[in-house]
Amino acid sequence: MAGRPQANRRPSAWGRLKSLPTDPLEIMGLPSKGDNRLLDYKTQESYYNKIVERYMKFCASIGGDLLDKVFASLALSSTTNGSHASNEGKESTTGLSTGIPAELATIMMAMRKLREAIFASRRVDGFAQRAYIFIIRAAILTNHMESYYPAMLHLLNYIHPLQPLPAAELHEFVGYYILDLACRQGDFAAAYAVRNRYQFKDRRVEMVMAALVHDNWCVFWRMRRAVDGYQKRLMEWAEDGLRVHALKCLGRTYLTVEKAYVERVADRGWDDLKRHDRVGWELDGDSVIVRRAKAKGK
């Protein structure tokens, strides 16, 4: 008698399906991917409250100087200055870095979902204004240009004309816009045009712009210590370029210079200059040998 055929022990298709997310921030999908649940105004407001609650709990759980390092751990986009998103509808779909805390990544993605929903539903009211302000501030702290830049343009160019921002908030976000143009994009003409358009006056922002125009690293480092946390984050986009310029000036000017002076000019410790900036100069005690004088031929 023939034996019974062996049962197919391969896992069923149902067994291979991923479990549905249970996190209230992950349940919702991106409107740009076809999930329309967040287009409802009441749902948007409920979702926003959950985001704010989780964000505040996350900040409280870290606290202190460590929180600043966690925000900075969000990897900068590989998008170059010339290929940034020009409006809300053209935002890059670049994902978040995998090297950051999962909770922060979840919160940032939830902010993107909410922002897409507000934009797609063409909502322009006090809630849309409040949500965008919160999202832009959080995205600036994480240096996530793909999140804050298109949102900033939408807030200033679309929401503000229909739902005017209070004077203090308008001044704040125009200042951020100007700093982004000057520090990240290096577009000084556009930065000054925005300043003139909004009749913006802020001594610290104007000194940062002047420092960049004139490659004045002394003023730039001094102003970085004078501005608030959001402005400081935006200034970080220009730091590496200005630091390299300062080091090149030292290299063309000195044969030997004091180590303390190099650290002050670069606004960075010697070990970090060697490790991060790959400075090849030699250290001799408290002095730095920038280059050696060529022996004159007889």
The residue type at 197? R
Amino acid identity of residue 162, one-letter, is: L
- DSSP class of 39: G
What span, in angstroms and rounded, lies between the C-alpha atoms of 16 and 100?
28
State if pTM tops 0.85: no
The tokens describing 249, both together, are: 């000036």
Element (H, E) at 282: strand 282-284
Cα 162 from Cα 55, distance rounded (Å): 28
Instruction: Return the half-sphere exposure (C-beta side, CA atoms, 13 A cut-off) of residue 236.
Output: 16
Q: Is 281 exposed, middle or buried (0-12, 13-18, 19+ CB in 10 A)?
A: buried
CA dihedral over 116, 119, 120, 126, signed as positive or negative: positive
Beta pairing, strands 256-258 & 282-284: unpaired
Cα–Cα distances (Å) from 143 to 173, 218, 236, 275, in that order, read 15, 24, 9, 22
Give the separation between CA 36 and CA 51, rounded to whole angstroms. Answer: 18
* Model pLDDT, residue 94: 41
* Whole-number Å distance between alpha carbons of 170 and 45: 23
Per-position pLDDT tens, the chain of length 298: 455 555 555 555 555 656 666 888 999 999 999 989 999 999 999 999 999 999 999 888 877 667 777 776 554 433 333 334 334 444 443 445 444 578 888 999 999 999 999 999 999 999 999 999 999 999 999 888 989 999 999 999 999 999 999 999 999 999 999 999 999 999 999 999 999 999 999 999 999 999 999 999 999 999 999 999 899 999 999 998 999 998 888 888 888 889 888 889 888 888 888 888 788 888 888 888 888 877 665 5
What pLDDT does 74 receive?
57
pLDDT at position 79 is: 32
